[in-house]
Structure 1
Amino acid sequence: MSMECHQSSMYASSIKEIPDPEPILCKSIDFVIPDDRLRVGIETLSRFKSLEPCPDWEICPSSSQERPTPPPAFHIHIKDSEVTVALYPQSETIWLLPPLDSSLSSPNKHILPSHFVLASDQTILPPWRPGRGSGVFKSDSDPVVVPKSHILLEAFLRLYARDSGKRIGAFAMAMIGYIEEYVDDDGLLDANLLPEPLKTSYEELRQGIKPVRQWTQELKEALGIHEDSEDDRNG
């Protein structure tokens, strides 16, 4: 799901003081796939008659480099709709996880890797709730695999540490705020599953015990990220 967000403030003292993001709007159905399967993914989407190619990549909001969220490697439009279907390589999204493999193409909740859950698993995901979106998928006839909440939080923390001070870093901080308010506060996140130093860093940010500028610097240092470093994949 694509989310439009305000820029976050590096001077806020806690998550609570970061400006609230815009309401969630479903503008895109996004899939993360193995890097080496991107071409296959593009060819597969192109076969669907209900989808049509982007009319102009240069001006389309979905591919704009100025959008507040990371642009996909590929997107295609649903006919007669403003919603797109997008593909993201794993190396640009959830690089922290082991490589995705073909076992996820026919998933079974009893043998899924521990990082994932079926979007239709009512034992883990919540039902529809007012102001909280549609909730767990109603059917598993066409299974969809999603990351567990602590994995999603870890990805946004690492993305923020890598790109703080940039537009994508601001997006990541806004998403951390979403998770804190709508997932953690609702009892749907076990922050103890975060690896260190992210577990301690998230607790500090949530409690607002440090200015965000100081917190950001300490997070970068803990992950081995320097100001001239491009990413934290080796951190």
Structure 2
Amino acid sequence: MTQKQRPPAVPALCKPLAPDGGWGWMVVLGVALANMTTQSLVSTFGLLFGQALHDMGQATTGAALVMNFMSATTNLSGLITGPIMKLLSYRQVALIGAVLFSMGLLLSSMATNITHLILTYSILSGLGLGLTGPSSFVALSTYFNTKRGRAVGLALVGTGMGQMLMPQVVRFFLEWYDFSGAMLLLSAISLHAVFAAWLYRPLEGPSESKPVEDPELRSLRRISNAEMSSELGMEVIAPEVREDEVKKVKECDLEEEIT
């Protein structure tokens, strides 16, 4: 007599659906604002630090050291951005990066030698920039799928506008204030990236997700059923996974790519 046995349900995977709009456009605004107030300041390095490095006696070599250390720190921070984003949301990572970047500018206002600038501007601000950039584009990729190209293009408008406006702002600050005053004001401007990061609202809730069964799990279920039938001599019925048995596990595709 053939026995029928119901095997345990296999959970399906659930991924957040990119809404391609809605609050996603606020995320685009946030990324544009973050780019304008952080990345755009890097392009004003020569104008901002030129006289200060000359006063330190490091006009040429010092400029190369500060910029190279900052570039290295920003790029190497990618090694820790992925693991951090497994522990924290992209909003939290962007907030940390924005605070570090602003703090680096604030501490650079008190710099009296090249070593001080490397520690504050190159390393601290560079690390903040390295955390803010990737987390911002992870937020964009989470909210947009079919309209991702348009969203990224609009977000990069902030970088372009910042690179046009920031040199004028820096020149105005240096004319009316000294180097320290200009750095303090730029530090305050860069804090707008904190507000921008608050707009990176993570996708949460069952209304924004739907269960999607992983093909590998489906194949695994079939193989398991066949093995049970041959070993136990039973006809195993593979039921459809009921909605109340589906365990929703949220994943973000871009986080896997970063890893």
TM-score calculated relative to the size of structure 1: 0.26
Of Structure 1 and Structure 2, which has the larger fraction of its residues in strand?
1
Query: Which is helix-richer, 1 or 2?
Result: 2
Larger radius of gyration: 2
Question: Which structure carries more relative contact order (alpha carbon 8 Å, separation 6+)?
Answer: 2
